[in-house]
A and B are shown apart, each in its own frame.
Chain A
Amino acid sequence: MPFIYLHLHVGGARHCRVKARFIRWSPVTIYSVKKGHRIPSSFCSAVEDFLLHDLHALAAHAEEQPSSERLRQGVDQVFAIIDTIHQPWINGMELLEDAQKNKRALSTGCERIDSLLNGGLHEGHVTELAGPSSSGKTQLCLLAAANVAYQHKGGVTYVDTGNSFSPKRIAHFIGQVDQKVLRTVMNSIVCHRVYDIFTLLAMLHELEFRRKSQMCKGDGGVSLLIIDSISSLITPILGSNSPQGRALMISTGSLLKKLAHEYNIAVLVTNHTVGGNRGTIKPALGESWKTIPHTRLLFFRVCGSNTCDVSILKHPYVASGKAAKFTIHD
C-alpha cells in the first residue's frame, strides 16, 4: 500500500495528513514512483526526489510532454497542498488585534516584577530568569504558577528538572481558601519530571498536539509553561566538539518560541549564571541561546538577606537596565 510507505518517512502528524491526502488524490503517480517505475523523465526516481524537486521545473517539463498527463495532475495537486499549509500573511493591524485579544499579560503575583515587566509574563513571549543558585528563581516560578492558576484560572504546565517543585509552597502561596477551590486550582497545575533534553522535546511535541486539538474545540488549556531549569538539561549536551548539542539547544528554543506564539502560551524558563568579565555574572548557555528568550531578567540575592535584586537584561519594549527589588517571605 503506498499509503503506509509514505508514513514511514514523515515525523509530524500534520505532514502525515497532508501526504495521506496527496496519496488519496493521485495514487497511481506515487505508486509508480514508489515501485521504482521511472516517470518518463530524468527528473525523479523516488518519492523524495519528487517532493524535493523544483516543482516549477517539473511542471514545465510536464507541460512539454503530452504523455505525462498524470504527472501534471500530481504537480498541480502538490501546488494546491503547498498553498494550504504555508502560513498566511498577516498585516500590522491584524497582529495588533491578535496581540490585544489573545496575548494577555499574566500577573506573577509579585507586584514589583509585574510593573517591571509591564504587566507580567506576556502570553506569546519566552521569559528567562537567570541568576545564581538560591537567588529566588524557583520561588518566582512557583509564585507565578500559583497565581496564574488561582487568579487567571489558567492551566500551568511545570517542567521540573531539579525535584524542586514544591506543592506545599504553592498551596501556601494560594493562601487560605476553601478546600474545593484549592483542589481545582491545584489540579490545574501539572508537573512533569524531565531529566534529559530528549524527554523534554517529546513532551513539548505532545503538548503542541494537545494544545492544537484544544484550540479546535475552543478550549483554554495551558496558558503558562514553566521550565525550571532549562540550563540543567542543556549543560550536559553542550560544549562538546560535536555540533549536535548546540542544534538540540536551538531546536528546543525555537520550539518554545513557536509554542508561545501559535498557542498563546507564556513560557517561563530559568537559567543559571557563569562568571563573566571582571567578576561580573552573566547568564549561562552562551551567545546562541541569547536570541531565544524575548525577555531576560537577572536575579541577584543580597548577601544574607531575603531581598533580591532583579534587573532587565533584554526586553522587547522596556529599557534594559531597569531594576527592582523584591523580598521572599516565609
Chain B
Amino acid sequence: MEVGRLPISATQKGKLISAGYTSLSSLSSLSPSLLSRDLSITETEALVIIKHASRGGSPSRSPAINGAQTAWEMLHEEELFTRITTSSADLDNILGGGISCKEVTEIGGIPGIGKTQIGIQLAVNVQIPVDCRGLGGKAIYIDTEGSFMVERVLQIAKACAEEMSANYDFSRNGLPSGQVLMQPQDFLENIICYRVCSYTEQIALVNSLDKIICAHREVKIVIIDSITFHFRQDFDDMALRTRLLSGMALKLMKLAKKFSLAVVLLNQAANKYTEGSLQLSLALGDSWSHACTNRIILYWNGNERYAYIDKSPSLRSRSAPYAVTSSGIRNLVSDSKRMKMM
C-alpha cells in the first residue's frame, strides 16, 4: 500500500485507505477541500497529506517503481560481485573472471566432454574462502542423471584444498604454515545434493528451492546436471514441455537475482544439420535457448576440449581450450610444452 509510506499519522492513513485512496497517484490530482470532505478532516490537514503525496510520488525523488534499480546503481553493484572460478585461467579469461552470480549460465556439450566435471569443479570452487578471493559459499547440486560421483568430488576437493594452501599467503594472514585452510571433507559437507528421478520431481524441487535457500543463505551456486534428461523422454505434448520449461527458467532467473547466486544448467547436445553443414546444437529446442543469460558450448577440436561462448549480453563470443585432469578442470597444456616437460 503506497499511502503507508507517507509520513502522516496512522489515523490519517487509516482514513485514506478506508476512503479508497491507496496509491499516491489517486491523490495527485485532488484538491484539499475534496480530500478534507472525504476524510472528514480539516483542510489544512488535507493539504499536508497532498503535499506529502506529491513529494513522495514525484519522479525526481524516486525514479524507480518498487524494486527497480537505475543502471548507475547496478553498475556499482556489479563491481562488487565475485565470480566463481573454473580453475582454468583460459576459461576464466573468456568468461570475464568466471561464472557470474545473479545470472543463469547454461553449459552444454556432447557426452564425455566434461560437463559434469565442470559442474563438480564449480561446486567445489564456490567454497573457496573469502580470504583466498573466493565466495566461501555452499552449493546445491541437483543430479538428474545419476552422474554425481562422490569419489570424484573428493578427488577434486583434495586437489583444490592443496592448491589453496600452496597459494595462501600465510605470512600475512598469520596462519601457521602447514595448517590446511579447509579439509577435503569440509568441501563434501557443503555440497547439498538432490537426486531427481522424474520431471515432476524436478519441477517440484525447482519450486521449493526458494524455501530451501531461505534456510541456507550461504548457498551461492545451484547446479542442475542435467536440466534435459527427464524432459527428453516421455513427452508427447511438446507444447506442454515448452510451457513447463519456460516456467522453470523464469523461476531459476528469479532465484539467481533474489539470492544473488549463480545458476548453472548443464544441457545435452546433439549434432544437427543446418544449411548443409554439421552444427552442434543444444537440446530442448529454440525457445529453451532463450532461457539462460549465458550459454557456453563445449566441443572437441581434434583431441582438445574447447569452450565457446555462444550467447552472453556482456561477453564477446570467444573460445578457449581446457583440459580435464585428475585434479579437475585445468588449463590445457599444449603439446609442445608437454613434450618439453617429458
Q: Give the interface of A toward B (CB within 8 A).
A: 3-4, 7, 13, 16-17, 20, 132-134, 138-139, 142, 145, 155, 157-158, 161-171, 182-183, 186-193, 195-196, 203, 206-207, 209-210, 212-214, 216, 219, 221, 229, 231-233, 235-240, 272-275, 281, 284, 303, 306, 330
Contacts and interface: CB of A to CB of B under 8 A. Distances in A.
Nearest to B103: A163
11 contacts: A13-B25, A132-B289, A133-B286, A133-B295, A167-B71, A183-B72, A195-B254, A216-B29, A232-B290, A236-B250, A274-B287
B3 to A, nearest CB: 13
Contact of A238 (B243, B295, B310): B243
A64 to B, nearest CB: 35
A173 to B, nearest CB: 11
Nearest to A14: B26
A142 B25 contact: no
* Top 10 A-B residue pairs of the complex, sorted by shortest distance between their CB atoms: A7-B20, A133-B289, A186-B72, A209-B25, A134-B311, A236-B247, A166-B314, A167-B75, A189-B71, A164-B313
Contact of B286 (A168, A196, A203, A275): A275
Interface string B298-332: 00000000000011011011000000000000000
A87 B103 CA distance: 45
A17 B27 CA distance: 10
B243 A187 contact: no
A201 to B, nearest CB: 13
Interface in B75-132: 75, 78, 102-104
A330 B315 CA distance: 8
B23 interface: yes
Contacts of B247: 236
A155 B70 CA distance: 11
A4 B313 contact: no
A239 B242 contact: yes
Given A191-B69, A195-B250, A133 B311 contact: yes
B80 to A, nearest CB: 12
Given A213-B57, A274-B286, 13 more contacts: A4-B18, A20-B38, A134-B295, A134-B317, A189-B71, A190-B63, A195-B250, A195-B251, A195-B253, A195-B254, A209-B23, A235-B287, A303-B275
B74 interface: yes
B287 A214 contact: no
B293 A168 contact: no
Interface residues of B, number: 59
Given A133-B286, A169-B313, A212-B25, A162 B65 contact: no
B139 interface: no
Contacts of B71: 145, 158, 165, 167, 170-171, 186-187, 189-191
Contact of B75 (A186, A221, A235, A275): A186
Contact of A233 (B102, B250, B256): B250
Given A139-B313, A195-B253, A163 B29 contact: no
B321 to A, nearest CB: 18
B30 to A, nearest CB: 8
Given A274-B287, A303-B275, A165 B70 contact: no
Contacts of B104: 162-163
A219 B289 CA distance: 40
A54 to B, nearest CB: 28
A55 B141 CA distance: 65
Interface in B114-166: none
Contacts of A273: 286
Nearest to A13: B26
A134 B310 contact: yes
Name which of B65, B289, B291, B311 has the most chain A CB atoms within 10 A of its CB.
B65
Nearest to B64: A190
B28 interface: yes
B231 to A, nearest CB: 15
Contacts of A192: 65, 67-68
A17 B316 CA distance: 53
Contacts of B243: 235-240
A110 B189 CA distance: 51
A169 B314 contact: yes
Name which of B70, B243, B279 has the most chain A CB atoms within 10 A of its CB.
B70
B174 interface: no
